[in-house]
């Protein structure tokens, strides 16, 4: 009988939640939900130089937007807290002392400058620098400034199993007496993470690929501490188009930037999980499906290039699948942000419906449908091409046709447009385009009847009149 799954996401609050971190969080979350296990959120803020409380908020914000709730961690507490490393200092001290007392760690009095010099020299001589154990057998003198180093056991190699990469072996000769606690008493990553994972009873550590090289020393730490080694799953990196690690110069890398660009959280989640994981040929997954199907057995071992085009497609596919009411609800804040007050406009769901298959993002939806809520802005090229003197009689006929009826309806409008076209032996396009430009300011829009219906009789007439005035008709 396997113990209940306990996984964690342990970001360092040095910036926003980026795409890679979000995927790590997401896969951990999915596995916890899939197995009915526990998802722990732990903040690794021991780098006091770079950690900020704003970053903590930004990360929590990003996770909430994606819908990743945590069972233990900031805000919700839990039986293994606190969940900020800086609040767990006494715990690390306790474990470090245990190691020192048993001789598995020792105080090192070497200065940073001294070590840097040695490293520099090693580099100059083209050899690998490994801490020579200068302080290994010195008597303990707490009055001297010191760090704590882990005493590397004599061994040939360290092997651990990785759920995505299989067994990984690291020669002991490439390992050294790592420092586990700084001179100021704050633990270093490898030690803090192990103590926390031990005390938080984490049994599966799924994290970024960039941590594989830390794993061997961590395995040794677990053993020195006398605790079982968890299972590891190292997730491949996400790369930019040039195949280097995704970074700012590749464009937006924070999940909240995608929110601001008008992506749906469902789409971001969907895309991120699919990047490096698959379930047969399926591309679109609801969160429920992801929870149901997710497993590390289908997480690929190769790093993946982030593909913005596919992300857009996933987003558009998701937008098409929402009900118009829901889409309108999602779009409302984006209209607001664009300075369009649409909160009480009853046409919003119908407008959303009209653009559902045309907009790629919510921001795009707002931009494309702007003229329904704001005055027409004529595109100069469209104006010069379609609002010409020849168009005057057409615009006049359509205008008068609409004016002659009460409330316009789709069937009546279709008849009107066809009549006008036939009377002049014109294709429907010759009639619709000038009208489209008059009503929307541009040459691309939903069906012209829908546009008129959404605009309403009065507004349609007003815009046609304005266009007629312009063409001198």
Write down the residue that tokens 């730490």 correspond to: 221
Of 248, 292, 310, 320, the catalytic one is: 248
Looking at the Cβ atoms of 419 and 472, the one nearer to RNA is 419
Residue closer to RNA by CB (options 186, 341) is 186
The 17-36 site mask, x for binding RNA (CB under 7 A), equals --------------------
> Contact with RNA (CB under 7 A): which of 65, 84, 129, 293?
129
What CA–CA distance (Å, rounded) separates 221 from 374?
64
Q: Which of 290, 432, 454, 468 binds RNA (CB under 7 A)?
A: 432
In our burial notation (b when 16+ CB lie closer than 10 A, e otherwise), range 138-153 reads eeeeeeeebbbbbbbe
Per DSSP (E only), the strands in 42-136 are: 105-108
Asked if 174 interacts with RNA (CB under 7 A), we say: yes
Among 196, 197, 209, 266, binds RNA (CB under 7 A): 209
Return the range that interacts with RNA (CB under 7 A); candidates 74-82, 92-100, 136-144, 269-277: 269-277
Q: Does 244 bind RNA (CB under 7 A)?
A: yes
Q: Is 103 helix (H, G, I), strand (E, B) or coil?
A: coil
Cβ neighbors of 305 (< 8 A, separation 6 or more) are: 238, 239, 240, 241, 243
Residues 312-371 that bind RNA (CB under 7 A): 312-313, 316-317, 320, 357-358
Q: Is 300 in the site for RNA (CB under 7 A)?
A: yes
Helix (H, G, I), strand (E, B) or coil at 233: strand
Which of 24, 28, 44, 107 touches RNA (CB under 7 A)?
Answer: 44
| 91 touches RNA (CB under 7 A) | no
Q: Cβ 16 to RNA, closest distance in Å?
A: 14
Find, among 262, 329, 318, 327, the residue nearest to 289 by Cα: 318
213 scored as a contact of RNA (CB under 7 A)? yes
Could you give the CA distance from residue 443 to residue 252 in angstroms, rounded to a whole number?
31
154 labelled catalytic: no
d(CA 407, CA 455): 12
Q: Which of 20, 37, 73, 276 binds RNA (CB under 7 A)?
A: 276
Residue 302 near RNA by CB under 7 A: yes
Residues 146-165 that bind RNA (CB under 7 A): 147, 165
How many angstroms separate the CA atoms of 327 and 311, rounded? 18
Residues in 180-199 that interact with RNA by CB under 7 A = 182-184, 186, 188-190, 192
CA atoms 147, 148, 150, 151: torsion sign: positive
**Residues marked as catalytic:** 248
């Amino acid at each position: 009988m396997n113990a209940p799954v306990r996984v964690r996401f342990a970001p360092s609050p040095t910036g926003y939640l980026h795409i890679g971190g979000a995927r790590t969080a997401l896969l951990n979350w999915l596995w916890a939900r899939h197995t009915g296990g526990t998802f722990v959120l732990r903040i690794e803020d021991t780098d006091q130089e770079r950690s900020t409380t704003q970053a903590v908020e930004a990360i929590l914000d990003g996770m909430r937007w994606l819908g990743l709730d945590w069972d233990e961690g900031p805000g919700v507490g839990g039986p293994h807290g606190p969940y900020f490393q800086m609040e767990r200092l006494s715990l690390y001290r306790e474990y470090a002392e245990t190691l020192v007392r048993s001789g598995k760690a020792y105080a090192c009095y070497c200065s940073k400058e001294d070590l840097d010099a040695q490293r520099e020299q090693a580099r100059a001589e083209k050899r690998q620098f490994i801490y020579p154990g200068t302080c290994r057998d010195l008597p303990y003198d707490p009055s001297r400034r010191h760090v704590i180093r882990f005493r590397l056991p004599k061994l040939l190699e360290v092997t651990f199993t990785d759920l995505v990469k299989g067994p990984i072996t690291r020669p002991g000769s490439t390992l050294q007496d790592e420092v586990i606690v700084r001179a100021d008493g704050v633990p270093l990553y490898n030690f803090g993470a192990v103590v926390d994972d031990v005390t938080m009873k984490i049994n599966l550590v799924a994290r970024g690929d960039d941590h594989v090289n830390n794993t061997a020393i961590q395995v040794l730490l677990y053993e020195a501490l006398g605790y079982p080694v968890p299972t590891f799953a190292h997730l491949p990196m996400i790369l930019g188009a040039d195949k280097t690690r995704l970074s700012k110069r590749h464009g937006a890398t924070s999940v909240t930037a995608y929110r601001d660009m008008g992506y749906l959280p469902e789409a971001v989640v969907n895309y991120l999980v699919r990047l490096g994981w698959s379930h047969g040929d399926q591309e679109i997954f609801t969160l429920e499906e992801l929870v149901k199907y997710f497993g590390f057995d289908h997480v690929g071992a190769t790093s993946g290039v982030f593909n913005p085009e596919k992300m857009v497609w996933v987003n558009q596919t998701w937008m098409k699948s929402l009900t118009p009411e829901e889409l309108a609800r999602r779009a409302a804040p984006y209209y607001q942000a664009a300075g369009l007050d649409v909160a009480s406009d009853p046409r919003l769901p119908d407008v959303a419906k009209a653009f559902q298959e045309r907009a790629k993002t919510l921001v795009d939806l707002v931009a494309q449908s702007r003229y329904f809520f704001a005055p027409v802005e004529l595109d100069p090229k469209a104006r010069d091409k379609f609002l010409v003197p020849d168009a005057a009689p057409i615009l006049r006929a359509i205008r008068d046709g609409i004016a002659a009826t009460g409330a316009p309806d789709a069937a009546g409008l279709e008849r009107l447009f066809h009549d006008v076209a036939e009377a002049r032996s014109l294709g429907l396009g010759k009639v619709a385009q000038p009208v489209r430009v008059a009503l929307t300011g541009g040459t691309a829009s939903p069906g012209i009847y829908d546009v008129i219906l959404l605009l309403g009789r009065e507004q349609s007439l007003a815009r046609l009149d304005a266009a007629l005035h312009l063409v001198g008709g």
